[in-house]
Structure 1
Amino acid sequence: MDYSSHISKYANMKAYEIVKTTLDNVQDTLFHQDQEEKDKNLSKQVLGPNKYEMKNIDWISCKEFTVDLGKEQIEKCINMWELDPSWLYSLTFLEEKELEFHKQYHYRALWSIPTAQTPIPKATASVYFVIEISKIKPQSMPVEVYYVVESCRLRHRPGKTSFRERWLKDIIENKTRLKETINF
């Protein structure tokens, strides 16, 4: 067997592997999309229509994104959360990170419950938002968004996870308890 036939066989094997991997990935994606649709239909049957349905906004496309528009979109998302109106937050843009396949835009929502007796809160809770702009996907696709609650590594996706007011309360209570144990 000569050298060129070895190269040809190797190229055919590699092409076969690439096509097979691509087809497997497409099949896996379609299976998961189908499974998500079945789960949604099952939850509607069990819970009834619109009961416990996740709220979400229509996120802007990657090409429309600006830091200010991202901030506006996050504020719209936060306003959909069912929180006591006494909670106040300030939303700040933190940084932009350039990664291999996407850009990340980081924001922080700093939460507290100021009162007439304590207008300056003793503790705050942070929720960190990340908006990702893909360099690979079409720019007409919506931005990817997730958020992380302070002291927790779990990534929550708007429309997939219901935000819990309890998370903010727990953080503030834990910080307050910690401050009480430290003597200066």
Structure 2
Amino acid sequence: MEKAVLDNAHDTWIQKDQEDPDNHEIANIDWIPCKDFTINLGSKQIEEYISTWELHPSWLFSLKFLEEKELEFHKQYHYKSQWSIPTARTPIPKATACVYFIIQISKIKPPTLPVEVYFQVESCRLTHRPGKTRFREKWLRDVIESKTLLRDTVDF
């Protein structure tokens, strides 16, 4: 499933500036220049960006580097953040939601420009860009709810 999401990430429509009906500020961070990028620094920047999301503090996530892709005009670095709300009753939740990130470094643009970053919520083909879309906690809840409903309909 991860592979399918990653393969479709650049082929799907990328969301343009989104009007926020609640007039919330769309958070972003200062992304590093391409010349300074490392996989570890990419992880730290994604975590810094995630910290700008307005989420209930009960949400926990882990971030994992998945792969590096060499393409004709750029390199892509793929990461997966996996989200859940553990509780005392269910410290290991039965369902999680993932948000996939791609950090892209151009081979033809000046290396002093910042990295390009895209993210996709699991089970959604829409590709978002930091600073253009306000992340919604509802997206994570919807993924977990749909997995829970599916699990409840299947007999193992």
Question: Where on the TM-score scale, by shorter chain, does this alignment land: which range?
Answer: 0.7 to 0.9
Corresponding position of 1:131? 103
Calculate the aligned-residue CA RMSD, in Å. Answer: 1.8
1:65-98 per-position Cα deviation (integer Å, ceiling 9, x unaligned): 0000000000000000000000000000000000
Q: What is the letter of the counterpart of residue 155 of structure 2? A: N
Deviation, 1:124, is 0.4
1:120-177 per-position Cα deviation (integer Å, ceiling 9, x unaligned): 1010000000000000000000000010000011110000000000000000001011
User: Which is richer in helix?
Assistant: 1
The one of 102, 110, 130 equivalent to 2:82 is 110
Gap runs ≥5 in structure 1: 1-35
Q: What is the letter of the counterpart of residue 153 of structure 2? A: T
The one of 37, 41, 44 equivalent to 1:72 is 44
TM-score, L = length of structure 2: 0.86
Q: What is the letter of the counterpart of residue 103 of structure 2? A: I
Structure 1: how far apart are the matches of 2:52 and 2:25? 12
Q: Which has the higher Rg, Structure 1 or Structure 2?
A: 1
**Equivalent runs, 1:1-184 vs 2, <5 Å:** 51-184=23-156
Structure 1: how far apart are the matches of 2:55 and 2:151? 26
1:41-82 per-position Cα deviation (integer Å, ceiling 9, x unaligned): xx9xxx9xxx52211100000000000000000000000000
TM-score, L = length of structure 1: 0.73
Structure 2: how far apart are the matches of 1:85 and 1:131? 26
Structure 2: how far apart are the matches of 1:126 and 1:53? 24
SS in 1 for 2:113: coil
Structure 2: how far apart are the matches of 1:154 and 1:83? 20
Structure 2: how far apart are the matches of 1:176 and 1:56? 31
Structure 1: how far apart are the matches of 2:76 and 2:96? 25
Gap runs ≥5 in structure 2: 1-16
SS in 2 for 1:63: helix
Q: What is the letter of the counterpart of residue 159 of structure 1? A: G
